Every structure is written in structure tokens, then in C-alpha cells.
Amino acid sequence: MKIAVIGATGLVGQKMLQVLAERNLPVDELIVAASERSIGKKTQFKGKEYTLISVEEAIEKRPDIAIFSAGADASLKYAPLFAEKGTYVVDNSSAWRKKEGIPLVVPEINASDITVDTHIIANPNCSTIQLVMALAPLHRRYGIRRIVVSTYQSVSGSGLKGLNQLHCEQNGGKSNNPAYPHQIHENIIPHGGNFLDDGNTTEEEKLIFETNKIMHSKIAVSATVARVPVYGGHSESVNVEFLQPYDLQEIRNILENTPGVIVADDPSKNLYPTPIMAYDKDEVFVGRMRRDNSIENGFNFWVVSDNIRKGAATNAVEIAQYLIQKILI
């Protein structure tokens, strides 16, 4: 089994290598590739040192699976070239998510969208993954008419640029290469991605589109994205309008029995999900579950996940795991 990680030096690429090792996937040959400026550098995997090669060289090695975290431009250029060699590409960028015929996959929800002929598979946006992990089992039970979601996204979602900007500002300095148009330290910025003509941002559009593509639904979604001065872990406040009456205890039971979801919800003990609770964990944490009495069949909850793990690296590795178990072996 030959597995390549493309963009292996980045924040998510390094986490992908960590999760691959933790999951103990059958990696007989590991190929690590990155941009030209990183060729020849070294990285570690399972205690061994690997030398980074060019993406072109990685293509010629014909890996069984190539996991991409190299940005949309690189993915658009190179993913089809890997696919032509018979490689299954799992892409973490936005390049392929909206393409018809390219599955957008959260394995716990819609792994069956992948077939033997699916050679490019899109990994969803981090904030979408944690949202649908909680929503999909509830949609199957009650049906969802409408969702209103507000995100509180950490700076790690902007990569090293976001982390460096917050660190510089916390220490009284100013980043030379800021990720945001405003100070993020002691601030909240209601802006993720680029603004569109309708006033939404690209990050908000992703939540709207991707939620429905993954769940094969036509749910009305309203999204507001905000960046907060937290290093890691995305939080979301979610308001749901179900099509049917629901039972609060049944919702709790459904979520408690959903693989990959942990219910942390006991107000009497001040128990609710926080980014620190989710740090370096693969699960999605749900709490603050309560009725919304302002609307019929309304329901509120709070969901938190480590955006670098389940929101990116872990989900991609889980897709690779599915490919190995169901397609390649």
C-alpha cells in the first residue's frame, strides 16, 4: 500500500501524518511531497525520517492514495494527474467540493457515495464537518426544515498565518504577514473568507452548500462566520427547525449513540463543550441542548470540534481508511 501526503510540511499535512501513524493504516511505502521550496527537507513518520520530493515525482511513483493538503490551485493542477495514474485522491481544499460527480464525504454519514470509479474525493470544510456530524442523525429521524448557524472559528483555521498573527499580537507585536484585516487579539472578526455580492462570505457559502451536498438534502441554511482569538477548535451555535415534533431525551439518546459524537451536556455541573475539551481529539462534542420555544419544533445546541483533526486531517485519513477497506483490498 503506497500512500502519498501532498503538502506534508503544512499544519494540516503534519497532522495527517500524525493521524496516519495513530490509526496504523497499512502504509508499506510513504511518499511525502510539497512545494518546490520544501523539496529536500525532512519530516518524520513512525520514528523514521523521510525526504520531501516534488509533486511531479510523487505522481510517477503511482501511489494507491494521495491525501492532499496543498491548497486549491495545486489540487486543481495535480489531482487529475494522480487520478490518471489510477490513484485515489482525497483533497482537503475547496477545489473539488462543488464539482458535480465529485463526492463530498464525511465517512460516518455518506461514505457510500464513494465508488471504485471515484478517483477524486473532496474533504469538506472544517466547520461543515462538525455541523453535519451532529445534524445528520437528527435529520434522518425528524427531518430538518431550516438551520441557523453562527460559528466561532479559531485562528488555526487560517493556518500558520493565523496562529502567528494571534501570537504576535498577544505579545505586543504586529504580524508582518497578517491573516486578517483587523487585530484578532482581544477581538472578534465577523469575516471568514472573501465577501460575495450577496453579502455572505465564501466560508458562509461553504456551510450552506456543503451541508446539503453531504446529507443529500434541500435544507434552508443561514450562516454567519466569525473568527475568535482561540488557537485551536471551532465552536458553533446551531438553531434547528425540525419538520416533526421531537423528544429532547430521544435527541440525547440518538447523539449519544452516534459514532464520533460525544454528548457533554449537564448544566448543573457547568458541563458543555469548549475548544480546550476538544483539543487534539477526533470526536465532535455536543451540548447546551434545549428547546427553542420561539418556533414550533425548534431546537438549539452548541457543537465543538478540533478543526485540524476531525475538521481536516482525521476526516481525510478516515476516507483513506474506507478506500483501503472497501475499494483497494
Active site residue 126: yes
- 31-79 residue pLDDT tens: 999 998 999 999 999 999 999 999 999 999 999 999 999 999 999 999 9
Residues with Cβ < 8 Å from 96, sequence gap 6 or more? 75, 79, 102, 120, 122
**The residue count for the chain:** 329
* pLDDT-above-90 percentage for the chain: 99
Inter-residue contact 317 to 25 (CB < 8 Å): yes
- 108-165 residue pLDDT tens: 999 999 999 999 999 999 999 999 999 999 999 999 999 999 999 999 999 999 999 9
End-to-end Cα distance, the chain: 10
Which position among 119, 139, 216, 234 bears the catalytic label?
Answer: 234
Provide the pLDDT confidence category of residue 329 given band limits of 50, 70 and 90.
confident
What value does the mean pLDDT take over residues 284-309?
A: 98
What value does the mean pLDDT take over residues 170-183?
A: 97
Mean pLDDT across the chain: 97
Pairing of strands 144-153, 234-242: antiparallel
pLDDT for position 159: 94
What value does the mean pLDDT take over residues 174-199?
A: 97
Given a cut of 90, whether residue 205 has pLDDT beyond it is yes
Q: What are phi and psi of 320, to 5 degrees?
A: -60, -40
Q: What is the DSSP string of 148-175?
A: EEEEEE-GGGGHHHHHHHHHHHHTT---
What value does the mean pLDDT take over residues 292-314?
A: 98
pLDDT for position 134: 98
- Structural domains of the chain, with CATH: 2-123+312-328 (3.40.50.720), 127-307 (3.30.360.10)
Which position among 126, 168, 182, 185 bears the catalytic label?
Answer: 126
Active site residue 234: yes
Given a cut of 90, whether residue 102 has pLDDT beyond it is yes
Report the alpha-carbon distance of residue 210 to residue 221 in Å, rounded: 10
Report the alpha-carbon distance of residue 49 to residue 120 in Å, rounded: 29
